[in-house]
Structures are given as structure tokens and as C-alpha cells.
Chain A
Amino acid sequence: MSTWDDLAVGFAPHPRIDKPLKVSDFVRYQGASGDFNPIHHDPEFAAKAGFPTVFAVGMLGAGRLATYVTDWFGPDNVRKFGVRFKEQAWPGDELTYAGAVIERREENGERLVDLELRCTRQTGGIHLTGWATVIVP
């Protein structure tokens, strides 16, 4: 956990490199979230839709990017978290989660930090961009 004094604009903790994505990761997330779109677990369905195979649920990477933030600041301290979906991620991809402080401010007696977030593929391609606001008690 970072302290207020650590959190200067530009501060960035170590990125997290995840294990290669497996279809079972997609299935597990789909079971947990209730999004049963077959395009993420049924290769035949994905092929009919014009894709080479199944691809990752965007919200799985989003959830893991959120975990990167909650491991850093604690889950109770999140006030905002968002993602924008860029290129798809595929089975076997090794995703890296990273973030940096872009602003810090005090509002209504709370110390707030705004973060810029990113999830990239091993190719360098961007899977997700994200943003978050957290409080630092």
C-alpha cells in the first residue's frame, strides 16, 4: 500500500504480468458474472461469427485491472473505476497490468488520487485503457 507522500504525480508501482490466459479463465469469469455469451467459450460459435477462435471477455481483463488497483489501495478505497475496450485478448496471451498517478487532490476532507491504467498484450497491443479514483485514508 502506498502512502500519501509516495503518491506524487507520475508515481507508478511495478506492473503485474499475468499468467497466460486460458479458456477456463473466461469460463470461470462468465460463471461468476452471469455473462454467458458463447463467443468466449464455444469455438464453433466464434468461428461462425468470423473469429479464428474464442476471445477473452473484456470484463475479465477489466476485473483483473481492478484487482491491480485494489491490491495497491485496498478494495474499500475505490471511488471510481472504468475501462475502455481496445483490441481483443486471446487464449495464451500474457497480459500486463500497469498504472500511474495522474493527479492528487483533497476534496471534502478526503485525499483523492486519480490513476491512469493500462492492460497490454505481450505484442505491445493495448487490450484496455482504464482510469480510477481512490481515497488515501
Chain B
Amino acid sequence: MTESFDLPVEFGKIREFAKATGSLHTRHFTAANAVTPPTFLMTAAFWQTAESNAWPKDRDMRRVLHASQEFVFPKGPPRVGTTLTGQQRIEDSYSKEGKRGGTMTFTTLLTEYRDEAGDVVAEVRNTLVETSKPPKADA
């Protein structure tokens, strides 16, 4: 089990992230109750520590590509002012033969985020694919 990490949902980061993803929606720019953009929890990169990362440390990152990414919000995206507690684990891992030969190994990392009351408010699934050959520009 990896360690949990805290992610304070900050107004400045919501605004910055919204602008970087081309959104000018007023709901991201109202300080009192701003809502986060759907992909905002990518900013966990600033908060997650090595001890809270479930990705195996022995992998060759030159052979790893991002395959898919999903965000689920049972009651809607988190809002400003809350501090979420994230915990990551490997949810799934499987291999299959690639179209051009070689084995592709898919690994899904699930990060569950809980609010101060302990309720799960977001599930983030990050699926990575590891190829037995280094990825090419046309991959």
C-alpha cells in the first residue's frame, strides 16, 4: 500500500490550469466557490511523493506511453478550499501482442481522492502502456 498525499485545491492553481486548457468559464474564476476543470487533478504531480506513487520504480520510462486517462466525480468536480487526500494503487495490469510485434503491457493506476469527511469525491485512472521496443514517432 502506498502512502496517501494531500492536495489542497487552490484558487490560483484553478485559474492557471483553466487558462492553460483554454477555458475562460466564470466558474473557474470566482474566488469564493470556484470549481476545478475536469482534468485539474493532473496537478497531483506537484503533491504526490515517491512514497505515494504506485508505479513500479524499475520500469524503463523510454518504453512507456500514456494510453488513456479518466476522471470520475460522483458529485461533480472538487471545488476550491477543500484539501483532498489521494491514494494510488495498481488497479489492473495485462499484456497483449502489439500490431507490429512485441508485447504491450498495460497498467492502470487508480488514485482515489477523499474529502475531509472521508467520502470519495474523485477517481482518476491513468493507463500506461509499456512496449517491448522503444516507441516510435508514429506510435
Contact = CB atoms under 8 A, between A and B. Distances in A.
Given A31-B20, A79-B76, A85-B67, 19 more contacts: A28-B19, A29-B21, A32-B13, A32-B17, A32-B20, A50-B134, A58-B69, A59-B42, A63-B22, A64-B21, A64-B22, A67-B21, A67-B22, A70-B23, A75-B37, A79-B72, A82-B70, A82-B125, A135-B76
Given A81-B70, A81-B71, A85-B67, A33 B43 contact: yes
Interface of B: 13, 16-23, 25, 27-28, 35-39, 42-46, 62, 65-74, 76-77, 125, 134, 136-138
Contacts of B77: 75-76, 78
B74 to A, nearest CB: 7
15 contacts: A32-B13, A60-B20, A63-B20, A63-B21, A63-B39, A66-B37, A67-B22, A70-B27, A75-B23, A78-B76, A81-B71, A82-B70, A82-B125, A85-B65, A87-B138
Contact of B69 (A34, A62, A64, A76): A62
Nearest to B13: A32
Nearest to B65: A85
Contacts, number: 121
* Chain A contact patch, size range: 35 or more
A106 interface: no
Nearest to A64: B22
Contact of A35 (B19, B45, B76): B45
Contacts of B72: 79-80
A51 B68 contact: no
Contact of A74 (B27, B125, B137): B27
B134 A80 contact: no
B23 A76 contact: no
Contacts of B21: 29, 32, 60, 63-64, 66-67
Contact of B37 (A58, A60, A63): A63
A17 B35 CA distance: 25
A43 to B, nearest CB: 13
Contacts of B125: 82
B41 to A, nearest CB: 10
A35 B39 CA distance: 13
B88 to A, nearest CB: 15
Nearest to B76: A76
B29 to A, nearest CB: 11
Interface string A39-82: 00000000001111000001110111011011100111111111
